[in-house]
Amino acid sequence: MTKNMEREEQFYANKNFAFSYSSLNKLLFSPSLFYKDYILQDREIRTDKHLVEGKLVHCLVFEPENLNKKFNIVPGKAPSDSVRKVLKNMSLYTDAKLLFDVPSEIVLDSLKEMNLYQSLKTDEQRIVKIIKKEFEPYWEFLSNTNVDVINEDTLLDCTAKAEVIKTNEEVMSLFKNQSTDFDLDPISTHAEEYLKSDLDTFAFGLHGYVDYYTIDTETKTVTICDLKTSGKTVDNFSESVDFYNYWLQAAIYSKMVYDSLGDDRDDYTITFKFIVIDKYNQVYVYDVSQESMVKWAEGLGGVLKIADYHYSERNYSLPYDLLIEKVKL
């Protein structure tokens, strides 16, 4: 049995597998990449600046007390995205505490794997692009932790975004209904809460962390809020909903919250809102219509059937549409 076959058997031996929005979205985008990342556990290291900044803003808004648990703040300027990926990859193969102590072969292998500086003529030229004094502080933090590493400028920028969000009247009106210690308080609030749904008709479930939602047992209403940082302007967010399949994320979160409500869940009305802050720190709250909620729930049903085909057949060679019928141009 090959190593890949062993990992596949280990994956399917886990009878409690659950798709997150990220993994389900990746399966739609590329089943073969899902197979590599989640079944073979050969996942590419993601240290993209916009992803880290999005996570940081979430932390500063919803759980600022966990900032030092989730992020290490390195002094000075952080390396570029591509260099960070190489440094992160290097850290997986060495215990060197100092950047200049990293073996040359590890540096060169990481550069080759990330396809960086391969056009340079000599190994020495490639190595000096990575082994630099200015990257030492970043390496020191990186080699001692598995959490995200940020620099002071990034922290300042994201803190400013978080403050804009927390001082926005419309956003705060969504967050103001904080639950109290009073036993009969009808409103409960939930921030960055982990939820999981078992799916009776499938061999897998759904899971994930929901940014923020409130449950009002008196009015039988649930309001789910999802915070998005955008590199575009707020008026272009509808394009992102389609491009990144944010509609799928909304449908998954709504399904998980609905399943958590208990026996009287059908008595509740669930609403969903996207809180969007763009690159200019403009904030806009998008209300999702009930018509869209129904449409997205139906879309989730279709996506789960696609996932079930790949999962049950163990076929991740091509996207679903290309596997079930011959596509002609």
Q: Which residues contact 191 (CB under 8 A, 6 or more apart)?
A: 62, 63, 211, 212
Question: In the prediction, which pLDDT does 92 show?
Answer: 82
* pLDDT tens track for 167-194: 999 998 888 655 445 455 678 889 899 9
Question: In the prediction, which pLDDT does 145 show?
Answer: 61
Give the closest residue to 158 by CA, choosing from 246, 285, 71.
71
Is CATH 3.90.320.10 what the domain over 169-324 is classified as, yes or no?
Answer: yes
Question: In the prediction, which pLDDT does 184 show?
Answer: 52
> Hey, what's the torsion of the CAs at 251, 254, 260, 265, to 10 degrees?
-110
**Which residue in the block uniquely carries the two structure tokens 């302007």?**
233
**HSE of 164, CA atoms in CB hemisphere, 13 A:** 19
Instruction: Name the band, by pLDDT with cuts 50, 70 and 90, for residue 45.
Output: low
The first and second tokens of residue 193, run together, are: 């809460």
* pLDDT tens track for 122-141: 999 999 999 998 888 888 77
Q: Rg of the chain's alpha carbons, rounded to an integer?
A: 22
Selected residue with higher pLDDT from 93 and 298? 298
195-215 mean pLDDT: 95
Domain layout of the chain by residue ranges: 45-163, 169-324
DSSP letters for 7-19? HHHHHHH-TT-EE
Q: Which residues contact 159 (CB under 8 A, 6 or more apart)?
A: 60
Q: Which residues contact 127 (CB under 8 A, 6 or more apart)?
A: 104, 107, 108
∠ CA 290-193-231, nearest 5°, is 65
Could you give the CA distance from residue 307 to residue 210 in angstroms, rounded to a whole number? 22
Question: In the prediction, which pLDDT does 248 show?
Answer: 98
Question: In the prediction, which pLDDT does 93 show?
Answer: 87
Question: In the prediction, which pLDDT does 136 show?
Answer: 86
Q: Which residue type does 214 have?
A: T
Least confident range of 83-87, 205-209, 241-245, 278-282: 83-87
Average pLDDT value for the chain: 90
The first and second tokens of residue 314, run together, are: 């163990």
Question: In the prediction, which pLDDT does 97 show?
Answer: 86
